[in-house]
Amino acid sequence: MKYFIKADRFLLEKEVKKGSYLVVEDGHFGSFVDSLPANSKIMDWSGYTIAPGLFDTHIHGIDGHDIMDGRTDVVHGISEALLKLGVTRFLPTTLTSNKEDLNQAIKAVTDAVSTGLAGAQSEGIYLEGPYFTEKHKGAQNKNYFRDPAIDEFLEWQQLSKGTIVKIALAPEREGSMGFIRSVSERGVLVSIGHTDASYNCCTEAVDAGARNFVHLFNGMSGLHHREPGATGAGLIDQRAYSELICDGFHVHPDIACFALKTKQDKLLLITDCMRAGLMPDGDYLLGEFPVVMRNGVARTETGSLAGSTLNLIDGIKNLQQWSGNSLTEIWHLASLSPARSLGKETILGSIKPEKTADYVVVDDNLHVQATAVQGEIKYRKQDL
C-alpha cells in the first residue's frame, strides 16, 4: 500500500521539514515530494507534527502489567498500552529473580512475540540482572545475585530463540570480563549497572565490549573527583551509551542537562517504567517487592525508588524544557539513539527513505494523536 502524509512539519534527524508530502509505501518511508500524482491516497494530518516512533529500551511494565508476571497476555497488554504514548518499539525487560521465574518470563515474551503483537513491537529481550552487587541493588533482589555464567546465559538465549539483545551486570563480579567479551561477540549489548565498580573497572569492561550504562547516576557508584566511579565512566567514555530517566525524581534537571552536554547523542532516554505506569496511586509489586506509588513516584518499603511511572514522551518534554535544546534533537534521543545502541539505526529510529515507517502524530503540546507501526495506524485518539 502506498500513501502520502500531509502535515505541518516533520521531525527529521537534523532539521524540521515543512511544505512537502511524505511517501509511505509497503510499510517503509519514501522520499518527500512537493506535488502529488492523480488519485493519490492522502493521510491528512494538517495542524500536527509527524515524528519518529519512540523506542523504549528499558521498560518492565505499564498499565498494571509486568514482564515478570510471566504471561503472554501481559506482554500483549504492554504492547497495546504503549501505542497511546507514541512508543512503537520496546525491549521487554526482566528483573533479578530465581531461575524458574526468569525462564517463565523469557518464555512468555518469546511466545507472545511469535504470535504477533498488535501494538508496539518487541526488538528483543533485555535481562536486567541477575549478575549485580548488593550496595547499589535498588529494587533488585539481592538473594539471587551471582557471578555471570556464560552457560546459564546461553540456556536463556536458547529459550528465547536467540532474541535476548541486552543484558546488564556489575563488572566487578568474578568472571565478568570474560563474560562481557563472550556475550558482546554474540551481538548482545552489555550494560553496566547496579554496581559499585571503580572507574578503572568500568573502563576495563568497556574495553571488553560493554557499551551501555544502566539509568545513569542511579544504581551505581557515584562521581568523585578522585574516583570517578561508574557514574564518571558513564559520563566520560564516549564508546558507551548512557540511559537517563528524565522524570525529575531520579536525576535533578540540571544534572540531566549536564549529562546531555557530555554524552550528546550517546544519551538514551528510557522510562524504567513498572506496572504502576498509567495507573492511580496505590500499592503495587515490582517483581517480588511491595511498592507504594504516591504522587506518581514509586518507592519500596525502605524508601528506595522502584523503577518509574514515566511515559517516554514526558521524558522528552522534560529534557527539552530543562535544556532548551531543539525538539528534534531531544526526540531522537528516544528514537534514533536507542536504535543505534542496538545496531538497528539503518531500519529504525528516524524518518528517512527505506526505514520502517514507525511514526507518531503529535500536537503542539506533544499530545499523541495517532501512532503508526510499519505504516499502519494502530492507535488514533478517539476524538479525532
- The residue-averaged pLDDT of 78-91 equals 98
Active site residue 272: yes
Contacts of 322 by beta carbon, 8 Å cutoff, 6+ apart? 246, 253, 254, 256, 257
Please give the Cα distance from 124 to 128 (Å, whole number): 13
User: What does the pLDDT average to over 116-145?
Assistant: 94
Q: What is the pLDDT of residue 259?
A: 98
**What is the rounded CA–CA span in Å between residue 319 and residue 97?**
33
**pLDDT tens digits, 199-236:** 999 999 999 999 999 999 999 999 999 999 999 999 99
What's the mean pLDDT in 134-160?
A: 93
Half-sphere exposure of 190 (CA within 13 A, CB side): 29
Per-residue model confidence (pLDDT) at position 340: 98
Pair 132, 197: CB distance under 8 Å: no
| 190 sits in which H/E element | strand 189-192
Q: What's the average model confidence in pLDDT over 178-198? A: 98
What pLDDT is recorded for position 306? 80
Catalytic residue, chosen from 272, 283, 363, 364, is 272
Domain boundaries, the chain: 2-51+350-380, 54-341
Residue type for position 116:
G
With b meaning 16 or more CB within 10 Å and e meaning fewer, what string describes 12-35? bbeeeeeebbbbbeeebbbebeee
For residue 309, count CB atoms less than 10 angstroms from its CB and return exposed for 0-12, middle for 13-18, buried for 19 or more.
buried
CA distance 318 to 207: 33
Q: What is the mean pLDDT of the chain?
A: 96
Say whether domain 54-341 belongs to CATH 3.20.20.140.
yes
Q: pLDDT tens digits for 297-350?
A: 888 877 788 889 999 999 999 999 999 999 999 999 999 999 999 999 999 999
All three cell numbers of 206: 568497556
Question: What does each C-alpha distance from 364 to 46, 360, 368 come to in angstroms?
Answer: 12, 13, 10
Gyration radius (Cα) of the chain, Å: 20
Q: pTM to 2 decimals?
A: 0.96
Q: How confident is the model at residue 119 (pLDDT cuts 50, 70, 90)?
A: very high
Query: What are the two backbone dihedrals, phi and then psi, of residue 35, each rounded to the nearest 5 degrees?
Result: -140, 160
Going by pLDDT thresholds of 50, 70 and 90, the confidence category of residue 255 is very high
Distances (CA, A) of 279 to 295, 297, 300: 11, 11, 17
Residue type, 230: A
Residue pair 127/165 in contact (Cβ under 8 Å)? The answer is: no
- Average pLDDT value for residue range 230-244: 98
Residue 383's pLDDT band (cuts 50, 70, 90): low
Please name the residue ranges forming H helices in the chain: 72-83, 99-115, 150-159, 176-185, 199-208, 229-236, 253-263, 312-323, 327-332, 336-341
> Burial level of 86, CB count in 10 A (0-12/13-18/19+)?
buried
Query: What pLDDT does 314 receive?
Result: 98
Give percent of the chain with pLDDT exceeding 90. 89
Cα–Cα separations (whole angstroms), residue 204 to 201, 305, 323:
5, 29, 32
Q: Mind listing the pLDDT tens digit for each residue in 171-182?
A: 999 999 999 999
Examine the pLDDT at 384 and tell me if it is beyond 70: no
- Asked if the 2-51+350-380 domain carries CATH number 3.40.50.300, the reply is no
Q: Which of 122, 51, 79 is nearest to 368 (CA)?
A: 51
For 59-114, the DSSP string reads E-EETTEEGGG--HHHHHHHHHHHHTTTEEEEEEB--S--HHHHHHHHHHHHHHHH
